[in-house]
Amino acid sequence: MMSLNKVSINTALPGKSRARILIIYTGGTFGMNYDREGVLVPFDFPYILEQLPTLKNLALEITAVSFEHPIDSSNVNIEHWQLIGKIIYDEYEQHDGFVVLHGTDTMAFTASALSFMLEGLSKPVVITGAQLPISEPRSDARENLITALDIASAKQEGMPLVPEVCIFFDYELLRGNRSKKVESMQFDAFDSGNYPPLATAGVKIDYNFSVIRSAPRSMKLELRDAFETNVVILKLFPGLNRQVVNAILTTPNLKAVVLETYGSGNAPTLSWLIEELKLAIERGVILLNISQCPGGRVLQGRYETSKRLQQIGVISGADMTTEAAVTKLMLLLGQYGPERTRDLIGLSLAGELTS
């Protein structure tokens, strides 16, 4: 288990009962600064407090835990997901909401993974970050963090307004497992093409309650954190050759493939491609069809170019993102094995797909 550092930020007003929020700082652009060679590297959480003194003026009880060695999100792996999930699980009863500070590059993968890991979640887990370091004058880090804290603490009649894993970025709150990073040079880094925003932050925060998940009837949180790593993504493109496809599909111990197809789930009708996919399925490999398009859904059988996929046993991923598909496959395979995964992969477990 990786080491953690813990910081308490007493912002509660004397004699007042305030929401208790846990900030989990993993690293990322949010808290970066320039080293001696002029390269951006992640810094420890106390550095963020120096840059954001207004954090202490919020009427909240805030505790922050940070990775002992904050990381660039390009280095995020399953071990980090497991650590974040365990922190939330261990601190669940002591806090009303959680804010995860995370780099943008793999944020959608982490959000998707946590949504499947935290079964029975009934409190907000808001993931946010920044496109510019908090030390920069024009940084988006301050607004993103302050609003994320507001959302994580928001309640109505004693119940959290957003009891799910979500991403807040550039004035929009998105369902975590519906999100994708779509921009690296603008502040609006994330989009959820197949699902509307859960809230929009302006002068006030407007919540779209009709699309926010209801808290589960069972309030008991369960942590699922066993992952199967023998999962790959195979993206189709004109000119893809058989040797490459065969090398991927015959990878030793391969358990599942996210097949990124065209449009509404279409693939070339090349006989060798269908044969390679069919042989993989016969070997027990799960093939999940996900569209390369940021919006829309897979409709296997609508066109001739997807009908053959349906006939050989490729499973439709409906309108799941690639990030949700990969993390869902890894978790289901790790928790339940291939047979149960085939039964569950097409079902909406955390709002990740439209039935």
What are the tens digits of pLDDT across the range 24-82?
999 888 877 767 776 766 666 666 667 777 777 788 888 889 888 888 899 999 999 99
Q: What is the pTM of this model?
A: 0.93
CA neighbor of 34 nearest in space, from 106, 128, 141, 132: 132
Predicted pLDDT at 8: 67
**Pure H helices in the chain:** 45-51, 78-91, 107-117, 141-153, 242-249, 271-282, 304-312, 322-336, 338-344
Mean pLDDT to the nearest integer, 280-293: 97
**Contact of 285 with 257, CB cutoff 8 Å:** yes
The position carrying tokens 């053959």 is 308
Collapsing DSSP to helix, strand or coil, 229 comes out as: coil
Predicted pLDDT at 47: 66
What kind and span of H or E run contains 66?
strand 61-71
**Identity of the residue numbered 319:** D
CA neighbor of 49 nearest in space, from 140, 144, 147, 135: 135
Predicted pLDDT at 185: 86
Strand partners of residue 101: 25, 128
Predicted pLDDT at 141: 87
Task: Between 297 and 301, name the one with better pLDDT.
Answer: 297
Mean pLDDT to the nearest integer, 296-321: 92
Among this protein's residues, is 29 annotated catalytic?
yes
**Contact of 193 with 213, CB cutoff 8 Å:** no
Catalytic residue among 29, 110, 327, 341: 29
Predicted pLDDT at 14: 54
Predicted pLDDT at 11: 54
Rg of the chain's alpha carbons, rounded to an integer?
Answer: 21
Does position 193 have pLDDT exceeding 70, yes or no?
yes
Predicted pLDDT at 133: 84
Could you give the CA distance from residue 141 to residue 26 in angstroms, rounded to a whole number?
A: 14
Does position 309 have pLDDT exceeding 90, yes or no?
yes
Predicted pLDDT at 283: 97
Indicate the average pLDDT of the chain. 91
**Identity of the residue numbered 216:** P
CA neighbor of 207 nearest in space, from 270, 124, 289, 287: 124
Write out pLDDT tens, residues 133-186: 887 888 898 899 999 999 999 999 989 999 999 999 999 999 999 999 999 889
